[in-house]
Amino acid sequence: MNQNLVKLFLRLALSLGFLSAVADRFGLYPAEISVWGTWQSFVDYTGLINPWLPISMVSPAAIVATVVEVVFGFALLIGFKTELFARLSGVLLLVFALAMTFSLSAKAPLDYSVYAAAAASFALATMNKKYLEVDSLLGKKWIG
The CA angle 54-60-97, to the nearest 5 degrees, is: 75
CA distance 100 to 92: 12
Whether the Cβ atoms of residue 22 and residue 29 lie closer than 8 Å to each other: no
Flag whether pLDDT at 144 surpasses 50. no
Q: Does 115 reside within a domain?
A: yes
Cα distance from N-terminal residue to C-terminal residue, the chain: 31
Residue 144 belongs to a domain: no
Report pLDDT digits (tens) over 5-16.
999 999 999 999
The residues, any chain, with a CB within 8 Å of residue 91's CB and separated by 6 or more, are none
Is 143 a member of any domain?
Answer: no
Residue 142 lies in a domain: no
pLDDT at 143 over 60: no
Query: In the predicted model, is pLDDT for residue 48 greater than 90?
Result: yes
The whole domain housing 17 covers: 3-137
Q: Per-residue pLDDT tens for 18-44? A: 999 999 999 999 999 999 999 999 999
Flag whether 9 is in a domain: yes
Q: Give the global pTM.
A: 0.90
What is the Cα Rg of the chain in Å? 16
DSSP letter at 6 equals H
CA angle 25, 71, 21 (to 5 degrees): 25
- Number of domains forming the structure of the chain: 1
Percent of the chain with pLDDT over 90: 85
Q: In this structure, is residue 96 part of a structural domain?
A: yes
Report long-range pairs for 104-111 (Cβ below 8 Å, ≥24 apart). 104/48, 104/49
**Strand (E) or helix (H) holding 92:** helix 82-103
